[in-house]
Structures are given as C-alpha cells and as structure tokens.
Amino acid sequence: MEDCIFCKIATGKIPCAKLHESKEILAFLDIAPANKGHCLVIPKKHLETITEIPDALLSKMITAVKELTARIDRALKPDGFNIINNNKKPAGQLVPHFHIHVIPRFINDGQEITWKANTFDGEYMEKIRQIILTN
C-alpha cells in the first residue's frame, strides 16, 4: 500500500532498526519506544487487523514474537513484558498495518498500559455471552 509507513519499511524504502526478517515477517525497534527493546513484529504484506491475517502467517508471527521476547529477556533482563496488538483507531491503532508490540517492562518504569474496569451484572454478561456465541 503506497501511503503505508510499514509497507515502506517492509520494502526497504525507509530504514528501520531490524531485529528479525523472514520471507513474510519483519521485526524492528519501535521509533518511539515505551522502554528500551520495545519492538514491532509486522507481516510484510499490507494487512490491517488480526481478522485479516491468515492463520499460518499469524502462527509464524506469534512464534517470532515469542523468540524475540526470549532474546530481549536474555539481553536486557526486563522484569516483564506486554505483548500488545491494537486493532483500529478507537483501540489505539495509529498505523493501519497489522503489528504486534513487544514491550519490555521494568519495575517503576512509569508506563501505564491499562483500562478502566466496568461492572456488568450477571444478566447482561449472559446476554453478551449468548450474542458472541451465536455469531
């Protein structure tokens, strides 16, 4: 896709700090990281959200995420990780090319990756469960 920054990175038109590359996948350091070692795993093909990713490709991506997490763990010794994927703008997806964030976390790193908890009553929870199950 012409205007997509991650397509440009995938085709080498703009540079990145590459960590891993295969025929279908690329991983590189995030340019505005939450912490040291924050990186992104992307498909080279322009696909936007998780439901568009073929299962075989998604499987390879999650394996790459796991391997990168293990490497960063050995290299930088963080205290934890967030593995995050935002789908669509209201969910925080700024770049509309599918990507999985690998974010090393450190005690007292000042980052907050959270949400406000709702309290739904049992009847509403059951209604939502049924709606999901019948679709």
Residues at the interface with ligand AMP (CB under 6 A): 5, 16, 28, 30-32, 40, 86, 92-95
39-98: contacts with Zn ion (CB under 5 A): 46, 97
**Which one of the listed residues 38, 97, 99, 101 is annotated catalytic?**
99
Q: Where are the alpha helices (DSSP H) in 3-113?
A: 5-10, 55-76
Which of the choices ligand AMP, Zn ion, none does residue 93 contact, using the CB cut-off of 5 to 8 A by kind? Answer: ligand AMP
**Partner whose binding site includes residue 52, from ligand AMP, Zn ion, none (CB under 5 to 8 Å by kind):** none
Smallest separation (angstroms) from ligand AMP to the CB of 47: 14
Q: CA nearest 61: which of 39, 94, 81, 77?
A: 39
Which residues ranging from 89 to 118 are in contact with Zn ion (CB under 5 A)? 97
Sign of CA dihedral 2, 9, 53, 89: negative
- Going from the C-alpha of 20 to that of each of 68, 89, 126, 129, the distances in angstroms are 8, 27, 43, 39
Quick check: is 38 catalytic?
no
Alpha helices in the chain (DSSP H): 5-10, 55-76, 122-133
User: Least distance in Å: CB of 5 to ligand AMP?
Assistant: 5
H or E segment and range at residue 91: none
Q: Which residues bind Zn ion (CB under 5 A)?
A: 1, 4, 6-7, 46, 97
